[in-house]
Structure 1
Amino acid sequence: MMGLGMGEPGSELSRHVREVWHHPHPRLDGGAPFLRALRTLVDKRGDISALFPVSEEMVVFLARHRAALDDRVAVVSPSPEVVETFTDKTQSLELARSAGIATDPFAIVHGMDALRTAAAEIGYPLTVRPLAPGLRLLDRKAVILQSAEAFETTFGGWPEGHDRLLVQRFATGPRHNQYFAARNGRLVACVETRILRTNAHDDTGLAVLGETVEHTPALLADTARLVGALDYTGVGVTQFIVSPDGRHHCFLELNPRIGGAHAAPEAAGLRLSRLALALADGADPTEDWRSFAYPAGLTYVWTFGDISGLKRSLADRAIGPVAALGRLCRILADAIRADAHLTWSLRDPLPTVAMFVNGLFRVALPPWGRREAGADRSPADP
């Protein structure tokens, strides 16, 4: 069964989804309607033994309200302490620093004067990022500022919807992700990928093209330190920026959940979904990360995100028509050559088709052939 209520574009059309549960959005009235609907569903259905939150917002919500479920079902997620630590950028960076992991200089600021002061003290180039889970800053994941002039042009005032912002020295170089599973603070499996392109013209966005690479020993050691520091049990992904020459790196963040590109490690042989379920059930996986092998050079793409990013770049005039045509050709060529697609499957095409139709043309598709389950509809439901 799959829950719907947070704007998921067409995932309910998958042939693997047998039943759909429409629920209120967790933000509605502090989450009380969602919790009531969830408890009612679990009470009525004796066959539901686990909840598997996927989005960051849902992972954080269930971590904060896990006690309200009264152990009715297992939650396939790390402990609430781990989730709270790593979704709070301040706590995660301070934990990394205390564990001896390199981080670029950073500051947490409240208000325009503090933002301007931190920018001057940290120096340019720098990046400004939102701190609350799920929020975007000026409709972006992060804002890169190359100079004081760029700061004044970008920030005419304090952005609405943010009480705090993270200001950090901008690190140049490719982003490396380590998709891992851990039990009681010990890594049991890990796959490393390198991001080759994102959906934003300034490379701050979501990965749309990447490849698996051999383990970088220093990154693997840092990931092991982080999971050990909080007795981590579950799956997640650590992100690092590696210098162009490969000699230095800095910690970016740890996401205590399956990432958006989890299909890449799955294609490389790391069954993160199954491992997450096993760990939530208390099992001791047999995989040993010291001997875990996977193919390096396996490429993966997210073509929908790539095309959507190109569309946005054109709208923002960050790229001209000729350059856009060249990039579109590269997107299509990469889609043909890729070893793995993050959403597309020839055996299960409808979710991706719906994503393109819904996302690019704003046309909703009906949930053909899916049985709907138990929750009462509310004004917040789709």
Structure 2
Amino acid sequence: MRALKLLALLPFVALLGGCDFVVLAPAGDVAAQQRDLVVISTVLMLLIVLPVMALTVFFAWRYRQSNTAVPYEPEWDHSTQLELVIWSAPLLIIVCLGALTWMGTHLLDPYRTLGRIDAGKAIESKDAPLNVEVVALDWKWLFIYPDYGVAAVNELAAPVDRPIRFRITASSVMNSFYIPALAGQIYAMPGMETKLHAVANEQGTFRGFSANYSGAGFSGMHFAFKSLSASDFDKWITNAKASSNMLGRSDYLQLERPSQNEPVRLYGSVDRDLYKAILNMCVETGKMCVSEMMAIDAKGGLGREGLNNTLPLTYDKYARRGAPLGNQPTFVAGICSIDELKDTPSREIFAPSDMTPLRGVGMKRPPFSPAHPSSTSLLFGQRSKSES
């Protein structure tokens, strides 16, 4: 009978074989510090949870009805010693958790530059960070290496013990960039940029994915993070540069289209301003960038002239992306950069004649009526002569 019970437990043991403890055994210093924060916080909370659970069982057993050897004191209601233990122990743990959380929040801020490679090695001036521009697409990841002029889809590579500086954005909906072995997750949002600093301390291939549901192809939105030696990383860059694929603005607009389970793809050359255009949501030719629009708004806006300052989209991913001012999907046309407008369809674009900030003039005083002088004066908090 006992053997049958053990056999019945085997399927549950097999299920545990699918568990991945990468969060508790990471390959990067940032993730290791986050692991320590989780472990210490859990241990501190167990200092209260475990004694409470043990004492619950102990009291139930000791003061059971059949145990007549224990004094029966139904009128007992206070003990100074117990009050001190009950309140002081949780208070001390809360203080420790608060201090730990405050330190972890600041020291592990994803926007904060790294101060060390690992626990025993500080960052030196010669340790220049690897810049990687990350774009969350539907449903794939684009990684741009601006220092090398290459890019990759669904594959990320970095050398061991070299700081990595990620700049992260998205093309449409919000996603979450997450490599458990490297660092914590951080959101990728369209028109906005988030940052993440991390470092890998072990060689290997680790899993990266989106931790925020983003649609039908979400389950396939993962990539491989390759932590390589310095020489192997140089080979990876050389291999990427040898690719005949080019990533310009028109190529990106094709890549941006929703697709699922995309294979790894390398690009030997990349438009140097592509990430900036993606971030400012103006990859389409002639489209006004968010930064340009903000500059115009800071000067008072385009006013009524801006209502006609739109152009049709040549490709609209979700049926109507842009300002709904006509029968066709439209977007606000750029007026700050002549180079961006040279290939736009011929159409008159209106610019404001006066760029000074708009200021309100207030409400005009209502007209004075001799028939009702008191009513007009009372609007302004004054008394009429008849009332005085």
TM-score range, shorter chain: under 0.3
Alignment TM-score, normalising by the size of structure 1:
0.27
Tell me which structure has the larger Cα radius of gyration: 2
Alignment TM-score, normalising by the size of structure 2:
0.27
User: Which of the pair has the greater relative contact order for Cα pairs under 8 Å at 6+ separation?
Assistant: 1
